[in-house]
A and B are shown apart, each in its own frame.
Chain A
Amino acid sequence: MAAVVPTHYQYDTPGDSSRIALARTIGESGEVADYVERPNFLYAASNLRAIHERYYRPTLQTTSTSAIVLPLYYTRLSTTRDEVEVFTGASNATVTVGIYTTGGSLIGTAYSHTHSGASLTNNFATYTGITSTEVLVGVTIRVPTSGTAELYFVRVLEEVLLAADLP
């Protein structure tokens, strides 16, 4: 049966065994199993949100070695989703992304990375543990040691819901 149910419907392949077992009980073939897993996939993967996205053109530039704090941007996560991916592109820059409550209290520093060198490099990391639906995103940038820091882009992307997070 597992071979019949497409992998992309299984958000947690080992954990899907009970559902697949049920489908096997009901269905003569893989059709019912597919039908069962389809909503699971939709539940996990549909309506994902880019909760913060900005490609700076021109690039965001500073020579400051102290972190320059951009405004706290209002955004929202979907209900029960608690994980984001932060993706940045920069040169000679230390970039952080914090997730805040709407009251301005820091929930956690989702991301901190130093882009070394004078050429554009990119990096991403995930952060889990956001318990609020309404949040503020705070981006900072600074020069690691000397020179000019350039920030090309920042994106904070809502991640798919894992099976463990199902209510």
Chain B
Amino acid sequence: MTDFKHIDSTAYAADEPLDSFLLRRSHENIKAVREHRGRLGAWHPGTLNTSTSAVVKPQVSGYTQRSLIPFLWHLAPNVTEIKVAVRHRVTTSHAVSGYEVQLSAFAVEVSHFLNGDPLPDGQTSDLSGGASTSTTTTLTLDVSDLSRGWIVVCVGFLSGESAAVEITKSSGVHGPEVYNGYTTMFHVCDHNADLGSTPTVINHWGLVVKTEAGSTKFSDSVESRQMLRYEYDSTGGLSTDLTYRLYVYPQFPPNREFVNSASSDNQSLYYIELGVADLEGVTIYDSNVNHPPVRAALDASRPAGATALVSRVSEQHQVFLENTRFHHLGPSQNPTETDFSTFRPVNVISGSRILTTSYTDICSCVVGRGDLLEAGGTNYRRMVYTLRALIYATYPTQAPGPPVPFNITLQLQLTNPDLSNPTNQEVPVSRWPCTRAPNMRYWPFATNMSNYGNNYAHEYDSLAYLLGFGPQHSMTGFQRHTLRGVLPEGDMGRRNIFDVEIQIEDDQPLVTRRIATLQAKRGENTADGAVIGIPGQAPRLHVLTWSVITTPNSEEVPASELGS
């Protein structure tokens, strides 16, 4: 940074009068700081497979619509442009033409994101497949029209598509013979389908039904869907006609059809391989700041007079308060539950936990040392942190219906790094509407399509279905699939995601490194007094994204500290 000027004894020779020099140079230095050092937040996902120690990264795809990952960004004043740098590796090479994955990014007001206004295309970049190394793609967003403060920055992924491949008998012929139809939640294939015998398979596929000739779409009631995963089920009680369940998102409409039940079986299930991005990180930073230029100290229309320093000092103070450190950005990897593989972790994005009547940790980050200058240990240090989160609540039930209200208490807790010495800030939320998610029931002894699957799944909110996907009869399973942790663009804007902010002031001035943890608990019964009816059933809180910053604005530096 060459714009910064020393304000020292060289001024004697360079500039006179000295007071003008001080005013001008000081302002220019502030301007230089703002314009050359924007804020930055980084989200770095991924973990290790606890069995193999292999690195596990989020794999993201989007079939016919973008899969979005939201980030809450805090826009400082005078910032007109931000950059979104996405680190990725697209190893797949499926697309027939065009991009393997189309990456996009856009920024909108929080209210715009939550209320259902159409989301902008934003900036896009077409990514090629077959990559053997990771790449950083940077997209530039104009934020000059957005309000300062909290905004939503979304990163989107849209997959390129392979040609459709028919699911056939293992001998390679006659797809209609193995495709038995669909329930509201999954397609069904018989035991002869060439899908292998692995119990659960997560392939990023689109699924379509066509005639065996492959050219005609069968019916609008069997629209194309993204597959979440498929299961091979050879348990003894289940008919071999129903061996494979290929779960889809969103659910199918209510008019359930058995496409191959007629005498003329000619419908086949086809899969379309999707381009997949291995996501390694998202970094957001200010890339253009227009700090106001130095103002005239004298006003030509007024009698000559010196401008008091008070306004300038106030301006400098404001710069300090509004340019704060991001401690955390983006979604978290939770929970600690095991999935079907029995090896943690179940998720690679998505912070989500079943609530109990005592506090459950949902997500954590490291805070402290916010904009401090520690020389001598006597200097001013920021002690207030703000957490902002987008949260969705689901409640697994056996029957659809209106949201179930629960009294839920959120708590932001600061602890020492060894998790001792807590400082807590509670936020009780009465009657939080928990959207019903379908209990993923299916009859394990089904003998034919007419008694298989959940006949009411289509009546549930599709985002609740997606986020709550996994709980089986016991309500304990919370399982991985191709859309875990992302938000399909078509499911945004139904005002069912809640925007939560919690602020906490640390009471430990001598502990400079702390852990911030978001916790939550529920009331004993629903807010209407109803008891929880199924063992293991409980509301589940999904923290879709959350950010923690050193708090601006409301925290004033004491006058004694400022030396005023």
Contact = CB atoms under 8 A, between A and B. Distances in A.
Interface in B61-113: 85, 87
Contacts of B372: 45, 160
Contacts of B326: 49-50
Contacts of B345: 58
Contact of B379 (A7, A51, A54): A7
Interface of B: 1-2, 4, 6-9, 11, 18-19, 22, 26, 29-30, 32-34, 36-42, 44, 46-48, 50, 53, 55, 57, 85, 87, 134, 136, 280-281, 283, 285, 309, 312-313, 316-317, 319-320, 323, 325-328, 332-336, 344-345, 351, 361, 363-366, 369-373, 375-376, 378-380, 417-419, 513, 515, 561-564
A71 B336 CA distance: 22
B285 A76 contact: yes
A35 B33 contact: no
A48 B1 contact: no
A72 B320 contact: no
A11 B30 contact: no
A127 interface: no
A14 to B, nearest CB: 11
Contact of A42 (B1, B33, B369, B375): B33
Given A46-B319, A60-B48, A87-B366, 16 more contacts: A13-B376, A32-B22, A34-B563, A40-B29, A50-B366, A51-B42, A53-B365, A55-B365, A57-B336, A70-B48, A71-B57, A72-B280, A73-B87, A75-B281, A76-B85, A79-B1
Contacts of A155: 366
A129 interface: no
Interface string A57-70: 11011111000111
Contacts of A71: 44, 46, 55, 57, 87, 134, 280-281
A30 interface: yes
A74 B26 contact: no
A59 to B, nearest CB: 9
A79 B44 contact: no
6 contacts: A22-B11, A35-B312, A42-B319, A48-B370, A68-B53, A87-B366
Contacts of A47: 33-34, 37-39, 323, 325
B513 A73 contact: no
6 tightest A-B CB contacts, nearest first: A8-B379, A122-B417, A55-B364, A6-B563, A18-B8, A58-B336
A156 to B, nearest CB: 9
A156 B320 CA distance: 22
Interface residues of A, number: 76
Contacts of A35: 22, 26, 309, 312-313
Contacts of A49: 39-40, 325-326
B88 to A, nearest CB: 10
Given A26-B19, A75-B40, A80-B1, A122 B46 contact: no
Nearest to B18: A26
A164 interface: no
Given A73-B281, A160-B373, A42 B30 contact: yes
Contacts of B365: 53, 55, 153
Contacts of A92: none
Given A35-B313, A68-B55, A46 B561 contact: no
Nearest to A75: B42
Given A18-B9, A120-B418, A167-B2, A53 B327 contact: yes
A43 B42 contact: no
A95 to B, nearest CB: 13
Given A49-B325, A71-B57, A160-B373, A36 B40 contact: no
Interface in A1-53: 4-13, 18-19, 21-22, 25-26, 30-32, 34-36, 38-53
Interface in A72-121: 72-76, 78-80, 85, 87, 89, 102, 120-121
Nearest to B25: A39
Nearest to A160: B373
A51 B40 contact: yes
A98 to B, nearest CB: 14
A124 B511 CA distance: 14
B18 A19 contact: no
B53 A58 contact: no
Contacts of B46: 70-71
A52 B44 contact: yes
A57 B366 contact: no
B417 A43 contact: no
Contacts of B26: 35-36, 38-39
Contact of A153 (B33, B136, B361, B515): B515
A53 B8 contact: no
Contacts of A64: 53
B375 to A, nearest CB: 7
A62 B53 contact: yes
Contact of B332 (A18, A42, A57): A57
A48 B39 CA distance: 7
Contacts of A74: 42, 85, 87, 136, 280-281, 283
Contacts of B319: 42, 46
Contacts of B36: 78-79
A55 B564 CA distance: 40
A87 B364 CA distance: 15
A9 B375 CA distance: 10
A21 B366 CA distance: 40
A114 B10 CA distance: 49
A44 B2 contact: no
B376 A72 contact: no
Contacts of B371: 45-46, 48
Contacts of B375: 7, 10-13
A102 B281 CA distance: 14
Nearest to B286: A47
Interface in A119-167: 120-122, 124, 137, 141, 153, 155, 157, 160, 166-167
A105 to B, nearest CB: 13
A51 B515 CA distance: 17
